[in-house]
Amino acid sequence: MNRSFAAFLSAQTLSAFGDAISLVAVPLLILRGGGTVGQVGAVTGLSALATLLTGIFAGHVADRFDRKLLLRLCDVARCGLYAAIPLTGGPLWLVLTVVPLAAVFSMLFQVTYVTVVPGLVPVDRITEANGRLYSAYAVAALAGPAVAGFLSGLTSPAAAIAVDAGTFALSAALLSFVRMRPVPPVPDSGGLAAGVRFIRHHPVLLPLTVLLTVVLAVTSALDDVVIYHLTHDLRQPDGVVGTVMTAAVVGSLVASMVVAWLRRRAGFGPLWIGAYTLAGLCVAAVGFSRQVAVVAVLAAVVLLCSGVAGIASMSLRQEVTPAHLLGRVTAAFWTLQLTLAPLGAAGLTAAAGQWGVPATLAAGGAAVTLTALSALFTPMRRTVPPPPPPT
């Protein structure tokens, strides 16, 4: 890979590292400051809502503005937003404002980076480039929670968020070394609505989108509830929380290594159904676990299952979608799935505070398992998906 891609990869790794730090540091900041799990859920829900709304226009913005400049602006904005938390002491009203705003720029960043890769590497090396990016993200996701937990325990969650802000500043600086081939803008021929229409008429993508919408609504605040379970029910310090969340991410790494082998043998439908059925059972088991090691293992299995299902569904979408529609279908697929996530995040965390983690995760895990099994009554049960409809 060339130097521009190396700089881009480094910048992406730092951005992902910052996101992974905030994933743990923000809930710890609220809980250690006397806040409730419901308030943590409010932050997560507002962030999910911001991400959902941003997905409506993110593709349009990425296609019509200088992409390198847009990436740097997103990093600078997130740096400034997160830096405001340690500088002011992190009052709840500020966290409720800053984190959802940061989610807007994170979504813009994620959509834009997808459009940048073809301008950095030859066409025949795009798959290799994406593989390296995924590996970098996995490493960042492994290190981020551990660093957040360590810094929170050593000093405070606000200090971890300060480091988070610094990662975005470094990422913006590294992006200045990126040189990319100009990519012609995509003509406006239907926008997000064209992607929605394709999904609506596809026999597999339509039920897949509906079922994933339910699954994401139930699991969007799962990290928050697990952190609450560790800190409130099991009385664990911040360092242990970070270690558990780091160990759980190992499941994502394993998923990337086994998904191709599993899909060749099981086919998409049985693999997706089986993965989320097992994930739901593990979600339910987390709430009844009193041993930290057991929580870590179960969380890793959940991420393994969701990673296998997610990578398989992404591959399916690429296989059945015409190339000229793939960007709009991907944007529509992401946006539609997030429609219930804000309500789900608020509901799950509020339930954990009101009725406890065991009852909440038992109900949530049952919902995930039943949703996965309901796919048996749709065309998703087929090993080989039907051909896409004419466009």
User: The CATH number of the domain where 105 resides is what?
Assistant: 1.20.1250.20
214 and 109 in a common domain: no
- Where a domain ends, among 177, 198, 213? 177
CA distances from 185 to 111, 124, 327 (A): 14, 21, 12
197 and 169 in a common domain: no
236 and 167 in a common domain: no
Tokens of 103: 């989610």
214 and 169 in a common domain: no
CA distances from 249 to 112, 243, 258 (A): 25, 10, 15
Helix (H) or strand (E) holding 47: helix 37-64
**Residue 184 within a domain:** no
Alpha helix positions (H), the chain: 3-32, 37-64, 67-88, 92-116, 126-154, 157-175, 191-201, 205-219, 222-228, 238-266, 268-288, 292-320, 326-337, 341-355, 357-374
**Residue 115 within a domain:** yes
Task: Count CB-CB contacts under 10 A for residue 69.
Answer: 11
**Residue 73 within a domain:** yes
37-64 helix and 341-355 helix, angle to the nearest 10 degrees: 170
Cα–Cα distance measured from residue 152 to residue 164, given in angstroms and rounded to the nearest whole number: 12
Tokens of 155: 């000093």
**Residue 134 within a domain:** yes
Asked if 353 contacts 38 with a C-beta cutoff of 8 angstroms, the reply is yes
Q: Name residue 217's amino acid.
A: A
Tokens of 114: 């997808």
224 and 131 in a common domain: no
321 and 205 in a common domain: yes
pLDDT of residue 326: 62
206 and 126 in a common domain: no
Burial tier of 35 (Cβ tally within 10 Å: 0-12, 13-18, 19+): middle
- Where a domain ends, among 177, 207, 241? 177
- Domain of 304? 190-391
68 and 38 in a common domain: yes
379 and 304 in a common domain: yes
Cα–Cα distance measured from residue 319 to residue 314, given in angstroms and rounded to the nearest whole number: 9
Helix (H) or strand (E) holding 35: none
Asked if 29 contacts 157 with a C-beta cutoff of 8 angstroms, the reply is yes
**Residue 182 within a domain:** no
199 and 172 in a common domain: no
194 and 74 in a common domain: no
227 and 118 in a common domain: no
- Where a domain ends, among 141, 156, 177? 177
* DSSP summary character for residue 291: S
**Residue 102 within a domain:** yes
**Residue 43 within a domain:** yes
Asked if 64 contacts 343 with a C-beta cutoff of 8 angstroms, the reply is no
pLDDT of residue 184: 53
**Residue 185 within a domain:** no
CA dihedral 207, 61, 23, 93 (to 10 degrees): -110
Residue with tokens 């999904």: 199
pTM score of the predicted model: 0.69
Closest residue by Cα to residue 13 from 145, 139, 172, 146: 139
Q: How distant is the alpha carbon of residue 336 from its chain centre?
A: 15
Tokens of 85: 């938390």
Total number of domains in the chain = 2
Q: What is the mean pLDDT of each run of 10 residues along the chain (391 residues)?
A: 79 83 83 78 82 78 77 92 87 86 88 71 59 70 78 82 88 84 56 80 92 90 85 82 79 78 84 95 91 91 88 74 66 80 82 88 94 93 56 46
Count CA within 13 A, CB hemisphere, residue 4. Answer: 12
Asked if 299 contacts 243 with a C-beta cutoff of 8 angstroms, the reply is no
